[in-house]
Amino acid sequence: MTGFTPYIAPTPAKTRIVLETERLVLRRPEPRDFEVFRAFLHSDRAEFVRAPGAPDENMTWRAFCHVMVMWEMRGYGLSMICRKGEDQALGGIGPWHPITWPEREIGWSIYDPSIEGTGIAREAAEAVRAWAYNTLGWTTAVSYIDPANAGSIRLAERLGCTVDEAAEKPDGEPCLVYRHPAPEALT
């Protein structure tokens, strides 16, 4: 990648950023979250967030390290979704921007199927989006969604996102690019 300079957070990302909502705590991932992440990635639930086929241990390890290191390199990343008073990761959600992606994303994966339909993913996504806009200073965000991922499409639409046909797709992947409402549209 000649001539490419990755963004590196201007301040150390060692601070423990925690977002709280009425029912949730969104916290930075920790090494102890690897097993729940691994179980998710090796399940059918991860069909839309991993390469086709069964993941191997090397890919799983590298993916989790990517999640952890995004915080160090960018100063933000996926947070683990936990119910208040509990510390079990139910999913991952947060500002996300791999090095080759054209735009910053608000991404999510729900690890625990029992929280589907409870509004937890929407509650977490709204908190993350507000943080990205109000604290990180983002003026736009997208969510890259596999066209067959009906659950993520429903969540994006509940968040007020609309398909942006003109948006560039990451790594040429076939996906829908859902544009989040601008910060001023949310006030």
Top-confidence residue, 117 or 46:
117
User: Residue 90 above 90 pLDDT?
Assistant: yes
pLDDT digits 0-9 by tens, 40-75 = 988 887 777 756 667 788 888 999 999 999 999 999
User: Residue 174 above 60 pLDDT?
Assistant: yes
| Phi-psi map region of 118: left, alpha, beta (phi>0 left; psi -120 to 50 alpha) | alpha
Percent of the chain surpassing pLDDT 90: 72
17-43 average pLDDT score: 92
Query: Angle CA(175)–CA(177)–CA(178) in degrees, nearest 5?
Result: 135
Percent of the chain surpassing pLDDT 70: 88
Question: pTM of the entire structure?
Answer: 0.88
Between the alpha carbon of residue 26 and those of residues 77, 100, 146, 167, the distances in Å are 11, 26, 24, 29
The pLDDT of residue 3: 43
159-177 average pLDDT score: 92
The pLDDT of residue 41: 86
Q: Where are the beta strands (DSSP E) in 56-186?
A: 79-83, 91-96, 105-110, 142-145, 162-163, 176-179
Q: What confidence category does residue 4 fall into, taking pLDDT thresholds of 50, 70 and 90?
A: very low
pLDDT, the chain, mean: 88
The pLDDT of residue 155: 97
The pLDDT of residue 81: 97
The pLDDT of residue 52: 62
How far apart are alpha carbons 187 and 178 in whole angstroms? Answer: 20
The pLDDT of residue 58: 87
How many CB atoms lie under 10 A from the CB of residue 123? 17
How far apart are alpha carbons 166 and 71 in whole angstroms? Answer: 29
The pLDDT of residue 187: 76
